Amino acid sequence: MRVFLFLLYNLCYSMVQLNERGNNMWKFECKKHLTYLLCGFLLGAVVFGLLGWNTAFVVDLVSDVTDDKAILENALLPYITGGLLMAGFMNGFLVTLRILNHFNISFFIAMMIFMFTGELIPIIGSALLIPTIIVCIYGWLTIPNRKKNKELRKNQMTEVKELERIYRLHHEFDEESAKLGENAWKIMLRVNVLYALGVIALLLVLLFVEELLVMITAVLLYMMLFLQLTKYKNNALQPIISLLYEDCNPEACASAILMLAKKSHRKKAMPLSQQFAQCMIYSNDPHLAIDALASSNVQSKSASLYPYHALMAYAYYQLGDKSMVEHHLHECSTPVNQKRANAMDIFRLQAKESIENKLALMNENFNEAKAFYTKALEGNNLVFQQVDSHYYLGLIAFVQKDLELAKEHFNFVRNHGNKLYFKEKADKFLTSIDSFSVQEEVVEA
């Protein structure tokens, strides 16, 4: 009882602290958490009720609480009790996973914790089931600007087909590069099939094997399989991403992503939406970049939240909308955790620094922007990032009338920019610099 009260107190205290710090990111996870609990309840009702697995266990469990025969002989008892048990297990697993993720505990340590506390997780999850549901409903209903977000989504272009239609109107669709998207889809399909087969095999072990060691071994093997398949799945996407990051070919990368979306039958969520938005930014199409980011719903994904704000700010910088750039800077200004620096806070600081640099350019604070891009050149190894930095350093040098330095930076953009729109801009600046040089030679003569 003391353990339950302690956990409940910490749960409520954490929510209060997060609200006081203005960190509402947890609220975007509440709907997903409730969905998982509902799926767990339905799964438990099917396994214990419909399939009649281990009905004696359910009756014995309830008989410890009540001796009422009307309850014990009720036909709905296995359905309700089984559903609550599975929902409790799901809740315990999710809560434990979020705690481990919050404290940045490694995967192997997490597995050790699950092994030695495996029996406590469903007990704690069941005890916290009702408080967690209340907290999740509260978080879901109090998402910041919930009504406004709904209205914006109605007016936004969210259909992947519409994004592709607009893309084809303004840009070239690379059929050869699109084959990479088709190949990636085939790999992802095989991986998803293996995911499903692994889950079925794991459920069969948990249902029909009573040896605890075998059950734990099966869970560990599936987790190892899951990690390897996820790694394989991510590697399948690297050739697509490299088209932009290494080859500086945004049209080829965007074409492959659109083909991947088509083969995956995506309707509203563009795969690799942030990479697609980057392609549009470097193709000088910020409007389509904003539409792609808005349709991705990345605000519910903590790992993608701050890159989302950085890209949105970049697109609005291209449009010259200073107020929206400042809005996304404000969204990155609240620390994730004031007591310690974690991975999320590092992402936040990087996004914040990037957006502040865009504002420095808009405010003509060129020395500050120059320092940012000079530092970026030292740390960025990807070709498209180097081209980005050299272009803006060249632009700053041109404005400050250091034509030799500007020419050096623009030549790098010309040689490595490939199909980035920076290359076309750099060519124009180099032509202007050459004309200035000719005029000076004529004047001197």
Complete DSSP assignment for 34-89:
HHHHHHHHHHHIIIIIIS-TTHHHHHHHHHTT---HHHHT-TTHHHHHHHHHHHHH
Asked, for residue 429, whether it belongs to a domain, the answer is: yes
Q: How far apart are CA 15 and CA 187, in angstroms?
A: 40
Which SS3 state, helix, strand or coil, does residue 400 take? Answer: coil
Amino acid identity, residue 368? E
Q: How far apart are CA 438 and CA 432, in angstroms?
A: 10
Q: What is the pLDDT of residue 373?
A: 95
Asked, for residue 403, whether it belongs to a domain, the answer is: yes
Asked, for residue 232, whether it belongs to a domain, the answer is: yes
Average pLDDT over every residue of 315-321 = 94
- Please give the torsion angle defined by the CA atoms of residues 299, 305, 308 and 312, in that order, rounded to the nearest 10 degrees: 70
120 and 13 co-located in one domain: yes
Asked, for residue 112, whether it belongs to a domain, the answer is: yes
Helix segments in 156-248, DSSP class H = 160-170, 175-208, 212-245
Q: Provide the residue range defining the domain that includes 240.
A: 149-268
Among 210, 243, 268, identify where a domain stops.
268
Reference 388, options 360, 412, 364, 353; nearest CA is: 412
209 and 138 co-located in one domain: no
Q: With DSSP H G I counted as helix, E B as strand and the rest as coil, what are the percentages for the chain, rounded to 5?
A: 80, 0, 20
Q: Which residue has the higher pLDDT, 186 or 50?
A: 186
Asked, for residue 102, whether it belongs to a domain, the answer is: yes
pLDDT range class, residue 22, cuts 50, 70, 90: very low
Asked, for residue 240, whether it belongs to a domain, the answer is: yes
137 and 77 co-located in one domain: yes
User: Within its chain, how far is the Cα of 341 from the centroid?
Assistant: 20
Residue owning tokens 């339905």: 42
Average pLDDT over every residue of 7-35 = 61
24 and 88 co-located in one domain: yes
218 and 124 co-located in one domain: no
Instruction: For residue 194, give both structure tokens.
Output: 């293996």
86 and 114 co-located in one domain: yes
Number of domains, the chain: 3
104 and 157 co-located in one domain: no
9 and 131 co-located in one domain: yes
Angle, CA 404 vertex, CA 400 and CA 406 arms, to 5°: 55
Whole-number mean pLDDT of the chain? 81
Is the pLDDT score of 140 beyond 60? Answer: yes
Q: How far apart are CA 137 and CA 142, in angstroms?
A: 9
110 and 218 co-located in one domain: no
Residue 370 exposed, middle or buried by CB count within 10 Å (0-12, 13-18, 19+): middle
Asked, for residue 296, whether it belongs to a domain, the answer is: no
Is the pLDDT score of 120 beyond 80? Answer: no
Instruction: For residue 55, give both structure tokens.
Output: 């009905």
374 and 444 co-located in one domain: yes
88 and 170 co-located in one domain: no
Q: What is the pLDDT of residue 358?
A: 95
Is the pLDDT score of 371 beyond 90? Answer: yes
Asked, for residue 40, whether it belongs to a domain, the answer is: yes
Q: How far is CA 205 from CA 29, 56, 116, 322, in A?
A: 30, 19, 19, 58
Name which of 139-148, 222-231, 373-382, 396-405 the model is least confident about.
Answer: 139-148
Reference 292, options 406, 418, 162; nearest CA is: 162
pLDDT range class, residue 40, cuts 50, 70, 90: confident
- The answer to pTM > 0.85 is no
130 and 153 co-located in one domain: no
pLDDT range class, residue 360, cuts 50, 70, 90: very high
Q: How far apart are CA 97 and CA 90, in angstroms?
A: 10
Residue 349 exposed, middle or buried by CB count within 10 Å (0-12, 13-18, 19+): middle
User: Rounded to the nearest 5°, which phi and psi values hold at 191?
Assistant: -65, -45
Which range of 92-106, 265-279, 306-320, 327-341 scores highest in mean pLDDT? It is: 306-320
Q: How far apart are CA 76 and CA 53, in angstroms?
A: 14
Among 268, 293, 325, identify where a domain stops.
268
Instruction: For residue 107, give both structure tokens.
Output: 């995967």
Among 104, 121, 144, identify where a domain stops.
144
Residue owning tokens 């599936």: 222
